[in-house]
Amino acid sequence: MSYVMAIVALSLTNCGSLLLLWWYRRSLLKKYANLQTQYQQELQRFLQRLDHELKNPLTAIRFALVNLAVPETEVREKARTTIDTQTHRMSELITELRKLAELEYVSIEHIPVSIDALINEAVMLTEADPQRIRLEIEPECEVKGDKYLLLLAIYNLLDNALKFTQAGSEVNVQAYDSGAGTTIIVADNGPGIDAADLEHVWKELYRGRGVQHIEGSGLGLSMVKAIIERHGGKVGLESTLGHGVTVTLDLPYGT
């Protein structure tokens, strides 16, 4: 009798294991299907944004090409300028997209980087009036990372903030030792970001409502996020419509 019970128990155990494996496989397939759907939706939205970003300069070039055949010299020169400007715009967009794609696999250096020197170099690169940028940087702040990439991230943040800051107002930059690394905060007093746009601001080519008239590719913040995350850091953004934007970067000391 005990032998029969043992066989039954073993059978039930095997059935239970098979049932558990079946359930686990089903859960994984469902999760994979959901992720695949989400990825496809994100890809579709990205392609729509890319189509929009390329369509505008291409339309301008198409009209300019027609004007090249016009006899008036002034009209032809204006058409040539338009073509030159728009092709440059598309070239810059493609270059930025390539940089963003390369960040996923490019090897990065881990050398000591002075945050004070890094931020001051980024300020110089913006070519902005120094009085427009107020710096509060703790001395001796340092991380280990790729200086070029970190400089690119800080420059993009400052460039973004300067574009949206009102004339005569300051962009505030802070940097301090957080105990686990360095925290960098960049704040502007621009138009801010609509609550509906906040969850999308880190996406490639995303342009919020009401800022389409301001020059930009929509790649700046996504570039910043990719660089900081490659360094093991985190990014954060706070904004209220009409009250500017505050971006926070948390970088670990590094190894």
pLDDT at position 3 is: 45
pLDDT at position 34 is: 64
Name residues of the chain where pLDDT drops below 50: 1-12, 213
What are the residues facing 185 on neighbouring strands?
174, 248
pLDDT at position 32 is: 62
Between CA 223 and CA 204 the distance in angstroms is 8
Domains of the chain with bracketed CATH: 11-102 (1.10.287), 111-252 (3.30.565.10)
Mark 59-91 as b/e (b = at least 16 C-beta within 10 Å): ebbeebeebeeeeeeeeeeebeebbeebeebee
Q: Which value, to the nearest 10 degrees, does the dihedral of the CA atoms of residues 247, 146, 152, 55 take? A: -100
Pairing of strands 133-137, 171-177: parallel
pLDDT at position 39 is: 52
| 7, two tokens | 């066989």
Cβ neighbours of 43 (radius 10 Å):
10
Q: Residues 207, 216: contact at Cβ < 8 Å?
A: yes
pLDDT at position 7 is: 41
